[in-house]
Structure 1
Amino acid sequence: MSWLRCTLRRSQQEAVASSTMTATSDNFFNAYAIFLGASLGQMGWVTGLPQLFGAMAQLLSVWLASHFSRRQFIVACAVLQAVVVLAMGALAAFRPENAVWIFIGLAVLYQGFINLIQPHWRAWMGMIVPQRRRGAFFASRTRLTMMASLSVFFVGGGILTLTDSVQMAWLGFSLLFSIAAMGRFASAWLLLQMHDPEPREAKVSGVFTQTLYNFRQAWKDKTFRHYSLFVAGMQCMVAISAPFFAVYMLEDLQFSYFEFVLSSVASIFTQFITLRFWGRFSDVYGNRLVMIITSCLIPSLPLLWLFSDNYLYILAIQAFAGFGWSGFTLSTANYLYDIRPFRSDFAIYAALQAGLSAGFVFVGAMVGGVIASYSEAFLIWTGLDAWLSSPIFVVFIVSTVMRSLVALWFIPRSVEPKTRPRPQLLTLIFRIRGFNAISGVGLDWLTVAKKKRDKDN
């Protein structure tokens, strides 16, 4: 069908356009907040608050699905998101009073629009991409996303380094966010050109009540409950330190923006190239073993930053982090699929786990901000400032200890689920939503493809 070929082609083009925005948001938001003069306490808000509102927006999106044309709703949200990104760039040029808090508010809107779009986008793509082509289609889309994102990442680092060298970093950020906004505007136009065979979902009464009931039923499953608390707890403890790696690199170590980008790429690139290794490893030994191995690696990551500020050493740490995070992200995604009860709705379990994690990330980021704000006074009071060269190291140590406690809690409670026949990695997960040097690749499920021998999965 000509409309199908055109829509799929537009979807691939849209992946490239939207990547110019996601590469900026995933990896430059913390650097931008530092440029605007964010305090250590405010860095926690930069990470935590947008995640919390994003989860709330995704729940709201379920209700909105039956009140608007799906394609027009997605396009409208994409356009508004582009306007928000453009406003972020304007902040750098005008530097109004309370610029940091304005940026946090814009980041909340940014995450809100992303999460309003996602459920509709999943349903749309799940409908139009032929099942037999899903693996190849989304693998190709992921490659395009990766290439476009890394290109923007490098270009952004170059622009910021160049403008910063002439004391005009504000211009670099304005240009960077303007490029991201133009990419999102192009993405919205391409989405408008795509065909939607079922533009409006049927109205269903009591959708919120039914959703809450389904969540409550899912939570009664002990294995799922332990898994959800483990994943959310680990992300919470990661969020304690996540905002402060950028602070340490840009302020304490005085990295140029391009050095900052290269250190992030070391992690991101390692994540991509090791995903397939972890996929094969989990097929042979099971996802539980991969989860245990990587949950033992992840707690050590913040602690490694204490031993040297050599740039090559930092690159090695980042590469090691990418190795650990790719296995953790993949195994936890596959484990969720395996532990859900037979014939149950995978979307319910994924949504509940994602919402819980967002709430925990908010708590972790707030705690990290408080610890960072008082860490310098703590070091002076205890005399540890002679041993720890940066107050941020206190945050790193706390994050390491708390990550370890979460892993120790979960390991004896983890079970090896009965593995179901399932599609290949990119057929199940479908696409890499984004990537972050500190907290890993973001995998986004679309739906679960069916096999003839497993019709009801």
Structure 2
Amino acid sequence: MLGDVMAVFSPDPPLTGADLERASERTRRLSVAEGATWAVMCGFGDAYLAPFALFLKAGNHAMAFLGTAPLVVGALAQLAGASLSERTGRERTGRRKPLLVLTTAAHALGYLLLFWAPFLFRAHAVEALLVVGAVLAWLASFGTPAWTSWMGDLVAPERRGRYFALRNVVVMLTMVVAMLAAAAMLSAGRARGWIWAGFGGLFTVAAIARGTSSWLFARHHEPPLTPSPGSYFSFWDYLRRAPRSNFAKFSFAVAMMNGAVNTAGPFFTVYMLRDLHWTYFQFTVSTVVFLVAQSVVYRWWGAICDRHGARSVMKATSVILPVLPLLWAFITSYPALLVAQALSGCTWAGFNLASTNFIYDAVTPQKRARIVGYHGLLNAFFTLIGGNVIGATLAEVVPASFAIGPVHVTLLSSLPAVFVASSLLRILAAAIMLPRFREVREVERVGTLALLRRFGRGEPVVSAGMELIHRLPLLGRIFSSRPAPPPPKRGA
């Protein structure tokens, strides 16, 4: 056991040629498994933070804080993690494995504290939850720059879209199973009057899953990383370069969009459980629909990113993003909102995958960890403004009933007005920033409307269905005997 621990802190032996490729391939597979354990943690832990807060009687401002403040804490953690990953190890050679192994182990213990702190301090249960939630956010984000830098070294540029799409599919499907199991556990506890025990069971499973992630990280191969002398630059330097830096323009575009999204983001769970009176089971099904939709289209978006570039995907999905909160503002039917969740999952799968791939494409390995930290801090700032300033203020001051001329409008609460505001801000963010940055790779050009037509015709679903068919031995033989369809026209 002691030998295994010491091995984590010792640099991996240098490898070349076939040995390096075998070690890298093994690590890529381990990373998929680690993603699955992370998904179990999220399905049993993160997904039920907001319901736990509502169970503890948290108000709108507390919910806004829970949804946005951890992002700011996480961004500061990323900056600290980026600096540490550049400085650990002998002769200031960057080591990333020890950082990730230790922080994920501490993150696992944090989930036990998440339950016991509010349980032991019931008079201040909400405050205890918010404090522990911030600690969890720090531990979850501290290793993100190191992980991003590490995986960028292990996955070749020409296969990043497909690899991370495959990894995300495994993550999403695992999260679906985890959330369904978590919902069953919580429902069983609620039926017996043991809802405290139900949440305790959820967070215990989350802790075990995160501990398994730490064990898997210890078995990853880590290529050496030596930061170059010119790779350091301050956050102020990063902001100063914004008018000239293509990546800084991209970072501001993503940050502004995330700020607009999180104007409404912290309040969707509140709206579902408090205003629409959904059960925990209905809430879980809604989240599962969102995750399944993402898993269905990830591979398609990954192929589009590899062929047409990340910017094309971001532009296309940004046309749909402003529509999503409007559906929640004007629709209350549960089946219709499940359809909205499916559309949301399909859209966010593309935007998030493209944003991640753009970072890998645009940033050199030596600067990647620090850039991820600065990018996260910028996103956190806009998210804090969107959620805690704009969203929370609107949720408190906008009346649920008002008159527009002779028309009297009565809403379930003030939250539909927050959703409309989020839609308008998303339009503004996309219109201002997306035209300002360029694609960094040589890719085949495609028009935004052409890509949206392909998306609207159901090409991602058809592509996923055909892939599934070809993976089934009998149907695969039947379909493979047919002539292949002609390739799509350039730019279609």
TMscore range, shorter length: 0.7 to 0.9
Give the residue type in structure 1 aligned to 2:63: M
Residue in structure 2 matching 1:228, options 251, 273, 282: 251
Q: Do the aligned partners of 2:97 and 2:217 also contact (CA within 8 Å) in 1?
A: yes
Cα distance in 2 for residues equivalent to 1:106 and 1:168: 22
Cα distance in 1 for residues equivalent to 2:158 and 2:306: 22
Moved more, 30-39 or 184-193: 184-193
**What corresponds to 1:275 in structure 2?**
298
Please provide the CA RMSD for this pair.
3.7
- Where in structure 2 are there 5+ consecutive unaligned residues? 1-18, 90-94, 445-492
**What corresponds to 1:48 in structure 2?**
68
Cα distance, 1:83 vs. partner? 1.3
Give the residue type in structure 1 aligned to 2:338: L
**What corresponds to 1:455 in structure 2?**
none
**What corresponds to 1:36 in structure 2?**
56
**What corresponds to 2:39 in structure 1?**
19
**What corresponds to 1:447 in structure 2?**
none
Describe the SS at the equivalent of 1:240. Answer: coil
Cα distance in 2 for residues equivalent to 1:206 and 1:108: 33
Cα distance in 2 for residues equivalent to 1:226 and 1:101: 37
Q: Please, what TM-score do these two structures have when normalized by structure 2?
A: 0.73
- What are the Cα deviations for residues 318-364 of structure 1, in whole angstroms up to 9, with x where unaligned? 111122222323344455666x5999956665543332112111111
- What are the Cα deviations for residues 418-457 of structure 1, in whole angstroms up to 9, with x where unaligned? 64269xxxxxxxxxxxxxxxxxxxxxxxxxxxxxxxxxxx
- 1:353 equivalent to 2:379? Answer no
Give the residue type in structure 1 aligned to 2:327: L
Cα distance in 2 for residues equivalent to 1:261 and 1:244: 16
What is the 5 A alignment of 1:301-316?
301-316=324-339
Change (3 A) 1:342 1:147: closer
Change (3 A) 1:385 1:192: farther
Cα distance, 1:44 vs. partner? 0.9
- 1:90 equivalent to 2:116? Answer yes
Cα distance, 1:43 vs. partner? 0.9
User: Is the radius of gyration larger for structure 1 or structure 2?
Assistant: 2
**What corresponds to 1:191 in structure 2?**
217
Cα distance, 1:223 vs. partner? 4.6
Q: Do the aligned partners of 1:294 and 1:325 also contact (CA within 8 Å) in 2?
A: yes
Describe the SS at the equivalent of 2:329. Answer: coil
Q: Do the aligned partners of 2:152 and 2:360 also contact (CA within 8 Å) in 1?
A: no
Q: Please, what TM-score do these two structures have when normalized by structure 1?
A: 0.78
**What corresponds to 1:150 in structure 2?**
176
Change (3 A) 1:334 1:14: closer
Cα distance in 2 for residues equivalent to 1:395 and 1:19: 30
- Where in structure 1 are there 5+ consecutive unaligned residues? 423-457
Residue in structure 1 matching 2:425, options 399, 402, 405: 402
Describe the SS at the equivalent of 1:243. Answer: helix
**What corresponds to 1:79 in structure 2?**
105
Cα distance, 1:98 vs. partner? 2.0
Cα distance, 1:57 vs. partner? 0.9
Cα distance, 1:288 vs. partner? 4.7
Residue in structure 1 matching 2:317, options 279, 288, 294: 294
What is the 5 A alignment of 1:36-185?
36-65=56-85, 66-67=87-88, 70-91=96-117, 93-94=119-120, 96-125=122-151, 141-185=167-211
**What corresponds to 2:483 in structure 1?**
none
Describe the SS at the equivalent of 2:330. Answer: coil
Cα distance in 2 for residues equivalent to 1:128 and 1:230: 27
Cα distance, 1:311 vs. partner? 1.3
Change (3 A) 1:419 1:197: closer
Identity %: 29
Q: Do the aligned partners of 1:89 and 1:175 also contact (CA within 8 Å) in 2?
A: no
Q: Do the aligned partners of 1:379 and 1:385 also contact (CA within 8 Å) in 2?
A: yes
- What are the Cα deviations for residues 12-32 of structure 1, in whole angstroms up to 9, with x where unaligned? 543333332133444222222
- What are the Cα deviations for residues 195-253 of structure 1, in whole angstroms up to 9, with x where unaligned? 5575xx76988986x34475256424265444333221111011111111111111112
Cα distance in 1 for residues equivalent to 2:332 and 2:319: 24
Q: Do the aligned partners of 1:161 and 1:256 also contact (CA within 8 Å) in 2?
A: no
Q: Do the aligned partners of 1:286 and 1:416 also contact (CA within 8 Å) in 2?
A: no
What is the 5 A alignment of 1:336-351?
340=362, 349-351=371-373
**What corresponds to 2:348 in structure 1?**
325
Change (3 A) 1:404 1:143: closer
Residue in structure 1 matching 2:265, options 229, 236, 242: 242
Q: Do the aligned partners of 2:307 and 2:443 also contact (CA within 8 Å) in 1?
A: no
Q: Do the aligned partners of 1:218 and 1:349 also contact (CA within 8 Å) in 2?
A: no
Q: Do the aligned partners of 2:294 and 2:345 also contact (CA within 8 Å) in 1?
A: yes
- 1:362 equivalent to 2:384? Answer yes
Residue in structure 2 matching 1:262, options 285, 291, 300: 285
How many correspondences in the alignment?
Answer: 416
